[in-house]
Amino acid sequence: MAYTGQMRWAPDARGRLQGAALDLFSEQGYAATTVPQITARAGLTTRTFFRHFADKREVIFGGDEIPERAARMIAAAPAELAHMEVIRLVLHRVAQEQFEGHHEQTAEIRTLIHANDSLRDRDARKRDDMVRAVRAAFIERGEPPLTATVVAELGILVFQVSLDEWAADPDAPPMTAVIDAVMHRLGDLSLSLRPSAAEPLG
Amino acid sequence: MAYTGQMRWAPDARGRLQGAALDLFSEQGYAATTVPQITARAGLTTRTFFRHFADKREVIFGGDEIPERAARMIAAAPAELAHMEVIRLVLHRVAQEQFEGHHEQTAEIRTLIHANDSLRDRDARKRDDMVRAVRAAFIERGEPPLTATVVAELGILVFQVSLDEWAADPDAPPMTAVIDAVMHRLGDLSLSLRPSAAEPLG
DNA sequence: CTATCTGATGTCACGTCGTGTCATGGCATA
DNA sequence: TATGCCATGACACGACGTGACATCAGATAG
């Protein structure tokens, strides 16, 4: 299936590499696919692959703008909103704009990631990157560092759990609904952290 | 500093490799240290390194029994304890038994990890492994899956934030106190998730 | 005391990843 | 036509990680 013709100056080299990689990963698995295989299918050379992606995993994770967008949304959120309501607002918008309507593709990528330790590594660090970005945004809002840390961790916790729950269920409700469900469960659990709260535990 | 003598059958090869690696990492940095350098200092060969550690990073992360121990503690915890009190109990014990008294060494390792993306990757996946173990333990206790997921994520969130806060501060209070502080902050923040809670926000 | 077995280590060859460096080919612009 | 820019190619190379087989110390049996 490798192109023998002159693809060198065909447009969208990066996109061709991503397409070829995703195809091969689903055909043979991630580990069994080599970079030369990918570039052969895309009609490019190995060296060019590493000009577009820092390493083999980035062909899946590359071009993620969620941290920046989330930070901007937090900065633009009404000042009077409670911490976790800012989180809810941002997550809803990210869900709608980035994921809703791409359920199948998202599920495929999540499956791929969960099947390979090297990709799980990278996915877990991406989560950490998101936490850092959100934390910085809340500090920018004037929150004390520990509060910003915990809010950011909580927000990304909700995001990650919701994303995997949503992606794993073929008949899942809209991702915004999953987010709300996770946040509600979080509220239940946190009750026992506040002995002052006078509600009995379920 | 490389041993020229016959170290081949000297005891504790694994420990010698870890010691040599940690020394070299702090002297030259992680990325600049090669596996042959490590094995030369430990008086062994490259091949032997990879018999003891699956890859170069595992010389830092290897031999981590926290997930198993945490799972056993959860299984043994009194059935009437609220979710987050089980978490608090387990985290206190892990803090006391694994970290208290090793502040300096812990801080050094955390610094090393935070300075290198490849190690951050691995550290982030280790966190995910802990979440999975804790989640499984709560499911074993009879919790529904989503509750188990969120409890586990929350628990490990507290652990990770507390560990880094504690390690980063040379004059930190006991780690158990940091854990309690983080959990208290978590309770504050979660208030806004429960509109029914009648307390005003701080 | 010797034979044998076992497990850790050594030796060697190899494939893949990822980078440094310089050469080349298309395209735009003057 | 000349010039420069930039994406890509070509090549060499070091480091990572693995498979296969050889070797050596110590334990155990006879």
Q: Is any atom of nucleic acid chain C found less than 7 Å from the CB of residue B184? A: no
Whether residue B28 has pLDDT greater than 80: yes
Provide the Cα torsion B176, B177, B182, B184; round to 10°. 120
Nearest CA among A149, A145, A174 for reference residue A162: A174
Q: Say how far residue A129 (Cα) sits from the centre of its chain.
A: 10
Which band of pLDDT confidence, cut at 50, 70 and 90, is reported for residue B196?
A: low
B198 to chain A, minimum CA–CA distance in Å?
A: 9
Q: What is the mean pLDDT of residues A8-21?
A: 86
Q: Is any atom of nucleic acid chain D found less than 7 Å from the CB of residue A184? A: no
In this prediction, residue A196 carries a pLDDT of: 52
* Cβ–Cβ below 8 Å for A84 and B161: no
As a whole number of angstroms, the distance between CA A60 and CA A21 comes to: 8
Residue of A nearest to B151 (CA): A189
Q: Is any atom of nucleic acid chain C found less than 7 Å from the CB of residue B48? A: yes
A9 CA, D3 C1': separation in Å? 21
H/E stretch holding B81: none
- Best probe of the B interface among A189, A196, A199, A201, by most B CBs < 10 A, is A189
In this prediction, residue A149 carries a pLDDT of: 97
The residues, ordered by sequence, that sit 6+ positions from A162 with a Cβ below 8 Å of its Cβ are: A91, A95, A175, A178, A179, A181, A182
Which band of pLDDT confidence, cut at 50, 70 and 90, is reported for residue B182?
A: very high
Residues in chain A whose Cβ is within 8 Å of chain B:
82-85, 117, 120-122, 124-125, 127-128, 146-147, 149-151, 153-154, 157, 160-161, 165, 181-194, 196-197, 199, 201
Whether residue B62 has pLDDT greater than 90: no
Q: Tell me the pLDDT of chain B averaged across its residues.
A: 92
Instruction: Tell me the per-residue pLDDT of B139-156, one tens digit each, with 9 for 90 and over.
Output: 999 999 999 999 999 999
H/E stretch holding B7: none
Which band of pLDDT confidence, cut at 50, 70 and 90, is reported for residue B193?
A: confident
In this prediction, residue A123 carries a pLDDT of: 97
| Residues of chain B with C-beta less than 8 angstroms from the C-beta of A190 | 84, 154, 186-187, 190-191, 193-194
User: Measured in Å, how far apart are chain B's first and last C-alpha atoms?
Assistant: 58
Residues in chain B whose Cβ is within 8 Å of chain A:
82-85, 117, 120-122, 124-125, 127-128, 146-147, 149-151, 153-154, 157, 160-161, 165, 181-194, 196-197, 199, 201
As a whole number of angstroms, the distance between CA A155 and CA A88 comes to: 8
In this prediction, residue A8 carries a pLDDT of: 60
Residue of B nearest to A183 (CA): B193
Q: Is A99 in contact with A163 (CB distance < 8 Å)?
A: yes
Residue of A nearest to B147 (CA): A185
As a whole number of angstroms, the distance between CA B180 and CA A106 comes to: 37
Instruction: Tell me the per-residue pLDDT of B85-135, one tens digit each, with 9 for 90 and over.
Output: 999 999 999 999 999 999 999 999 999 999 999 999 999 999 999 999 999
- Tell me the three-class secondary structure of chain A, residue by residue: CCCCCCCCCCCCHHHHHHHHHHHHHHHHCCCCCCHHHHHHHHCCCHHHHHHHCCCCCHHHHCCCCHHHHHHHHHHHCCCCCCHHHHHHHHHHHHHHHHHCCCHHHHHHHHHHHHCCHHHHHHHHHHHHHHHHHHHHHHHHCCCCHHHHHHHHHHHHHHHHHHHHHHHHCCCCCCHHHHHHHHHHHHHHHHHHHCCCCCCCCC
Instruction: Tell me the per-residue pLDDT of A117-161, one tens digit each, with 9 for 90 and over.
Output: 999 999 999 999 999 999 999 999 999 999 999 999 999 999 999
Whether residue B7 has pLDDT greater than 70: no
The phi, psi pair for A110, rounded to 5°, reads: -60, -40
Q: What are the structural domains of chain A?
A: 13-60 (1.10.10.60), 64-193 (1.10.357.10)
Which band of pLDDT confidence, cut at 50, 70 and 90, is reported for residue A190?
A: confident
Structure tokens that stand for A156 in this block? 């990304």
* Cβ–Cβ below 8 Å for B146 and A189: no
A11 CA, C27 C1': separation in Å? 13
In this prediction, residue B202 carries a pLDDT of: 34
In this prediction, residue A6 carries a pLDDT of: 54
Looking at the partner chain, which of A121, A147, A183 has a beta carbon nearest the beta carbon of B121?
A121
* Cβ–Cβ below 8 Å for A189 and B125: no
As a whole number of angstroms, the distance between CA B115 and CA B117 comes to: 7
Whether residue B17 has pLDDT greater than 80: yes
Q: Is any atom of nucleic acid chain D found less than 7 Å from the CB of residue A52? A: yes
In this prediction, residue B12 carries a pLDDT of: 87
B144 to chain A, minimum CA–CA distance in Å?
A: 11
B99 CA, D8 C1': separation in Å? 52
B6 CA, D28 C1': separation in Å? 26
In this prediction, residue B3 carries a pLDDT of: 40
Q: Mark residues 4-63 of chain B whose C-beta is closer than 7 A to nucleic acid strand D.
A: 9, 33-36, 46-47, 50, 54-56
Q: What is the mean pLDDT of residues B33-48?
A: 97
In this prediction, residue A44 carries a pLDDT of: 96
In this prediction, residue A193 carries a pLDDT of: 79
Neighbours of A1 (CB within 10 A): 7
Residue of B nearest to A180 (CA): B193
Instruction: Tell me the per-residue pLDDT of A24-80, one tens digit each, with 9 for 90 and over.
Output: 999 999 999 999 999 999 999 999 999 999 999 999 998 889 999 999 999 999 999
In this prediction, residue A195 carries a pLDDT of: 59
As a whole number of angstroms, the distance between CA B81 and CA B84 comes to: 8
